[in-house]
């Protein structure tokens, strides 16, 4: 297909340039020209008339409605072609919506599912909503770095063997830190048990568009892939895609995915979000080989600068030692700051506040910098900031380590809908959690509904709250002094 085309973006542009007199949603009803009045003049002042004129409601003939194929249909087909999928859906509520859609769809085939324990919190929400019963397969964990990696072929095999009538295997790759699992091997294992492989590839939407990047999961045999295009693929925040593979499960999955998608997607989806997906796809497919080369050069320059300074180290080299790490995403730079005597949390805060350098995330021991696929990074600003970070006396015995989850006592759904009470943190130790509690970033639940709350997890979550940029999703109290437990 001609990946230079952007049918949906062109249709939205044509509509907005015609200058309709507005008697329809959205209610700000930007006027047909910049000189006329609108309900929200401050919006026009902030974002501009042209942008707001492109906020077009759905079900417009010649855009997303009418005789097949509409411009939106054509853009979806171009996206499927670009990523190697049988069919693609545009998501307007992020990869979280994709995970919920996948859970709803797969529930039609049964209840027992094998799920990677370091899944995103939206997968846990999907388990609670659908009643899927998870048999968790654990990734390797680098305790020193505070990093959970992927799932090995051997561990997935064992988990599927020990699960009665599994309906799917659900894995996450790459990790927030860039660790990529052996997707081809995982797909082969899942198919040998006659179940589809679902991959949360939120952090790998750029994979496959340059020969120095990993191959994307759909092309490696995955059956359903959630792709968070806004993360490194270049679309607007909150946008993602859901890809259906070409394998033997496609015919069965497709109608249930379509139904679940309709349940999850807004009926008033923002056209600007979808336009950004159309344009991001074109940029990756047409110009990716050239622009991503510049991104990779910048990433290599940053790694070379870190090595030359001889204070911090590239954490990717350490992650490669784990057996479930097949390769590393080169556009994800995980820096071990602990070896340079400063916590990742403090390093990120200082870089942000004093050097105007915004890094993606941090743990006690690491700092993660991302380079969007096609972006040319400001190498010198990051290296200058790193060079000027203060040296601290770190007490490694007091280091905030990633804790192991407590034992599971109930299913996610049963705990989620049980009678509960909110009690002080100290009293919650040893009790069964009713909430999914995830330190952000990366949003991987440290405690699941149905798991025992441990003292180590309480300490970890409370320390996360106190750290710069620290946030815990799902807590009964903002400062984690109270927990919701099953009565």
Identify the band that residue 395 occupies on the pLDDT scale cut at 50, 70 and 90. low
Angle between the 153-161 and 183-192 helix axes, to the nearest 10 degrees?
20
Task: Give the residue among 180, 187, 181, 134 at the shortest CA–CA distance from 157.
Answer: 187
In whole numbers, what is the pLDDT of the chain averaged over residues?
94
Q: What contacts 262, CB < 8 A, 6 or more positions away?
A: none
Class of domain 412-486: alpha beta
CB 388 within 8 A of CB 412: no
Class of domain 71-278: alpha beta
Question: Structurally, what CATH architecture does the domain formed by 288-396 represent?
Answer: Alpha-Beta Complex (3.90)
Q: What contacts 353, CB < 8 A, 6 or more positions away?
A: none
203-225 pLDDT, tens digit each:
999 999 999 999 999 999 999 99
For the chain, the domains span: 7-53, 71-278, 288-396, 412-486
Share of the chain above pLDDT 90, in %: 84
Identify the band that residue 442 occupies on the pLDDT scale cut at 50, 70 and 90. low
Domain 71-278 matches domain 412-486 at the CATH topology level? no
Hey, how many other C-beta atoms are within 10 angstroms of the C-beta on 2? 9
66-78 pLDDT, tens digit each:
999 999 999 999 9
pLDDT for the residue 147? 84
Q: What is the mean pLDDT of residues 444-449?
A: 89
486 φ/ψ angles, rounded to the nearest 5 degrees: -75, 135
Q: What is the mean pLDDT of residues 273-292?
A: 97
Task: Give the residue among 18, 11, 22 at the shortest CA–CA distance from 60.
Answer: 11
Q: What is the mean pLDDT of residues 135-145?
A: 86
């Amino acid at each position: 297909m001609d990946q230079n085309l952007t049918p949906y973006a062109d249709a939205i542009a044509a509509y907005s340039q015609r200058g309709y007199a507005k008697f329809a949603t959205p209610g700000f009803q930007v006027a047909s020209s910049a000189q006329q009045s609108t309900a929200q003049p401050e919006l026009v002042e902030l974002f501009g008339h042209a942008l707001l004129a492109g906020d077009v409601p759905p079900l417009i003939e010649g855009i997303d409605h009418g005789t097949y194929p509409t411009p939106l249909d054509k853009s979806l087909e171009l996206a499927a072609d670009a990523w190697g999928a049988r069919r693609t859906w545009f998501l307007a509520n992020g990869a979280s919506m994709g995970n919920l859609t996948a859970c709803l769809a797969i529930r039609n085939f049964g209840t027992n599912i094998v799920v990677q324990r370091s899944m995103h919190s939206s997968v846990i929400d999907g388990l609670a909503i659908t009643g899927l019963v998870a048999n968790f397969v654990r990734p390797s964990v680098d305790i020193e770095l505070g990093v959970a990696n992927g799932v090995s072929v051997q561990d997935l095999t064992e988990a599927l063997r020990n699960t009665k009538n599994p309906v799917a295997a659900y894995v996450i790759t790459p990790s927030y830190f860039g660790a990529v699992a052996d997707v081809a091997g995982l797909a082969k294992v899942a198919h040998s048990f006659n179940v589809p492989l679902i991959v949360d590839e939120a952090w790998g939407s750029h994979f496959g568009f340059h020969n120095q990047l990993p191959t994307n999961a759909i092309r490696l045999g995955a059956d359903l892939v959630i792709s968070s295009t806004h993360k490194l693929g270049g679309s607007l925040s909150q946008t993602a895609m859901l890809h259906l593979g070409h394998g033997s499960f496609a015919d069965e999955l497709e109608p249930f995915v379509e139904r679940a998608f309709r349940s999850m997607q807004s009926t008033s989806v923002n056209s600007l979000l979808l336009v950004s997906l159309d344009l991001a796809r074109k940029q990756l497919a047409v110009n990716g080989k050239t622009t991503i080369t510049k991104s990779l050069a910048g990433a290599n320059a940053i790694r070379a600068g870190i090595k030359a300074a001889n204070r911090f180290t590239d954490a990717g080299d350490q992650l490669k030692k784990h057996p479930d790490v097949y390769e590393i995403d080169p556009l994800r730079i995980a820096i071990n700051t602990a070896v340079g005597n400063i916590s990742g949390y403090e390093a990120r805060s200082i870089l942000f506040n004093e050097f105007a350098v915004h890094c993606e995330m941090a743990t006690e021991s690491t700092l993660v910098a991302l380079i969007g696929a096609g972006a040319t990074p400001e190498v010198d600003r990051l290296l200058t900031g790193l060079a000027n970070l203060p040296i601290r006396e770190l007490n490694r015995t007091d280091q905030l380590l990633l804790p192991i989850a407590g034992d599971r006592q109930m299913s996610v759904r049963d705990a989620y809908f049980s009678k509960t009470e909110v009690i002080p943190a100290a009293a919650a130790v040893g009790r069964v959690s009713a909430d999914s509690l995830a330190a952000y970033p990366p949003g991987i639940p440290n405690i699941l509904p149905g798991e025992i709350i441990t003292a180590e997890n309480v300490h970890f979550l409370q320390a996360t709250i106190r750290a710069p940029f620290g946030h815990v999703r799902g807590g009964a109290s903002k400062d984690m002094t109270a927990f919701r437990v099953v009565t």
